A and B are shown apart, each in its own frame.
Chain A
Amino acid sequence: MAAAANVVRIRALACPNCGSAVELRGMGNSLSAVCGHCLTVLDTSSPSVKILQTFEAKIREQPAIPLGTRGKWDGDPWETVGFMVRSMKAGGVRYSWREYVLFNPYKGFRYLTEYNGHWNDVKVVRSLPEAAGKRRSIEQVRVLGNAYTHFQTYSARVDFVLGEFPWRVRVGDRAALRDYVDPPRMLSSEETAGEIAWSLGEYIPGSVVWKNFNLPGHAPPPSGIYANQPSPYKGRPGELWRLCLWFLILVFVLSIGFSIFDSKATAYTGHFGYSPRQKGEAAFVTPSFDLKGRTSSVEITTDTDLDNNWVYLNLALINEQSGQTYDFGREISYYHGRDSDGNWTEGNATDNVTLSSIPSGRYFLRVEPEMDANAPREVNYSLRVRRDVPTYSFFWIAALLLTLPPIFTWFRSLKFETARWNESDHPRSSSSGDDD
């Protein structure tokens, strides 16, 4: 539909310094372009190209994304047209990072920055950030609904340039930069000649850059922690505390359940028989057994095969060491039959008794059965001694173990944030609070 004359063509020009061809990928949007052959910076703002600067480079820096590479960002094709190395000085050390200019003829420019394998996807911000008070006594600014905390203020110097730029670039250019962070975002202001330009970066893994530009191999892994790198522990301690709470409730409920149904440990079981007609002493003692734990109750269950009969047991629980004796007697009877009203029963062939406050120790039972001398048959019975075993210790151990992951993660999170902020103008002492 568009006439041939209305197709915007790629311009190429001859470098006025060395005569090499300089291709202009920015379709006339670039104000400067660098001759890749002789490193002359050209002013391309008007058809009469002027030399801005010829610079010497000790090291010819190589962009990780070759200029002219096209990739998909947010669904649109973008081409790398410019590459620049900038640096800042802190504590006597110069730190370098790299910036890439991306161009789309309809959508203009956007940028990628890379430092030590940490990448940011950067766009110009057209909303004016506003002062938003302080957090931990550090200045904050707000834009597009997010608050950003000041990270550092520094002077950036241009050390190397290649390709095209939508401004007049020169090696040695300086700008005053201020970085504010709200991971994974970073808001930066760049001040040159009294004007402030704001840009908003979003931290992206190098693998995204490699994938979007279809670059060979793998992105070099990042080293260290970057200003707006999202913390892998962000929000994790909170999540783990909630999980821990739910587990504690579960363990608590389970421990209550266990104490009702299955917390009684059997300390002793014995089977005996008694006949009123037997000769000799009816009384006997059981082998000794241990009652463990703190002072608590002991349950003694007598299970008999009584059938229309009764038995009386004189019982004593005796502490082997101290001789402390707990005497008690149990009459057990079980009768049943049939009359004009139908079947009836009376009593129970099984008996339960609970002795409270029995200290731990080694015990035995003394048993002396009595029966009606005319009882038609002998009685067989079993004695079972059960001890309440408290499960609280299990509960407390579980509770302690469950708090370990959140405490550990909270500590890691704190360490991450401390490492992040130690690179800023506002280093933290490791004792300051967490960031969640």
Chain B
Amino acid sequence: MSQPIANCPSCGAPVRFRWSSAVQTVCEYCHSILVRHDLDLNKVGEVSDLPPDSSPIQLGTEGKFREFAFVVVGRILYEYDDGRWNEWHIGFQNGSSGWLSDAQGEYALSILSANTVPLPPASELTTGRPFQFDNRVYRITTITIAHYAGVEGDLPFEYWDKTVCNFADLGTPDARFGTIDYSESPPLLFLGEFVAFDELHLRNLRQFEGWS
């Protein structure tokens, strides 16, 4: 982990980046949302306390999927009609990053895809609609309108000013996973796969009362 140290422009506490390419982070002391421009940190807002959450993952959780070791460096908590889910921002050893999503114990790993296929506007999404990415057919399984319920740690984008976002989740016959994220224009495509908890070899997890 590379850890550039700066000071929080709001409270002066040291800010340690868990991921060297972080664009946004949250001061662990005063909960200011800090955005990095070159060497300067600017406070752009403040996060309210995250709602009580039950993911076994936390900032600093380490894992290894196949040969790829990673560390959890940040998190976005989304809320939608049928609950909440976490997108854990994970940093790999080579400096790149990806996302580990945790929805009620269902885990999926994905990374931003260098997609060139034009994606439809959110209004044209229907479940079952097929797409072809990397010679593989993906179909829309669920369409979700979510809002940001909180952020934590280091993120690769500025998420502080966003509120509501459309998502289209994609599936394949071989447990591949994808998400079209309409928070940007053009929309972003993340591709990856569903993974079993044991395949992630996670360490430094949270503990659960009565389950240790």
Contact = CB atoms under 8 A, between A and B. Distances in A.
Interface residues of B, number: 33
Interface in B171-188: 171-175, 177
Given A77-B211, A143-B173, A28 B56 contact: no
Interface string A99-123: 0000011111100000000000000
B177 A126 contact: yes
Interface in B107-157: 108, 127, 139, 141-142
Contacts of B171: 126-128
Contacts of A105: 54, 56, 105, 208, 211
Given A109-B105, A126-B194, A167-B82, A7 B207 contact: yes
B105 A104 contact: yes
A107 B105 contact: yes
Contacts of A109: 104-105
Main secondary structure of the interface of A (DSSP, over half): loop
Contact of B104 (A2, A29, A130): A29
B29 to A, nearest CB: 15
A373 interface: no
A96 B23 CA distance: 55
A77 B210 CA distance: 11
B82 A168 contact: yes
A106 B127 contact: no
A9 B209 contact: yes
Nearest to B170: A128
Contacts of A128: 139, 141, 171-173
Interface in B57-90: 58, 82-84
B104 A106 contact: no
B83 A45 contact: yes
A93 interface: no
Given A124-B106, A126-B194, A127-B171, A31 B211 contact: no
Nearest to A28: B54
Interface string A289-303: 000000000000000
A6 B206 contact: yes
Nearest to B106: A108
Contacts of B197: 106-108
A129 B54 contact: no
A169 to B, nearest CB: 11
Interface in B34-69: 51-54, 56, 58
A7 B210 CA distance: 10
Contacts of B142: 195
B205 interface: yes
Interface residue tally on A, bucketed by range = 35 or more
B209 A6 contact: no
Nearest to B103: A108
B208 A27 contact: yes
B173 A129 contact: yes
B204 interface: yes
Interface in A1-54: 1-2, 6-11, 26-29, 31, 45-47
A71 interface: no
A82 interface: no
Contacts of B105: 29, 104-109
Contacts of A6: 58, 206-207
B204 A47 contact: no
Contacts of B204: 1-2
A8 B206 contact: yes
A280 interface: no
B209 A127 contact: no
B54 A29 contact: yes
A166 interface: yes
Contacts of A29: 54, 104-105
A2 B175 contact: no
A199 B139 CA distance: 17
A166 to B, nearest CB: 5
Contacts of A126: 106, 108, 171, 175, 177, 194
Contacts of A124: 106
Nearest to A9: B209
Contacts of A10: 209-210
A375 interface: no
Contacts of B54: 8, 26-29, 105
B179 to A, nearest CB: 13
A194 interface: yes
A196 interface: yes
Contacts of B127: 194-196
Interface string A115-149: 00000000010111110000000000011000000
Given A11-B52, A127-B171, A31 B209 contact: no
Contacts of A143: 173
Contacts of A28: 52-54
Contacts of A11: 52
Nearest to A5: B206
Contacts of A104: 105, 211
Contacts of B208: 7-8, 27, 105
Contacts of A31: 82-83
Contacts of B172: 127-128
14 contacts: A2-B204, A6-B58, A7-B208, A8-B206, A8-B207, A29-B104, A31-B83, A47-B51, A105-B56, A106-B205, A126-B175, A127-B194, A128-B172, A168-B82
**Nearest 7 CB-CB pairings of A with B:** A108-B105, A28-B54, A126-B194, A27-B54, A105-B208, A128-B171, A127-B175
Given A126-B194, A127-B175, 19 more contacts: A1-B204, A2-B204, A7-B208, A8-B207, A10-B209, A11-B52, A46-B51, A47-B51, A104-B105, A105-B208, A106-B105, A107-B105, A108-B105, A109-B104, A124-B106, A126-B177, A127-B171, A142-B173, A167-B82
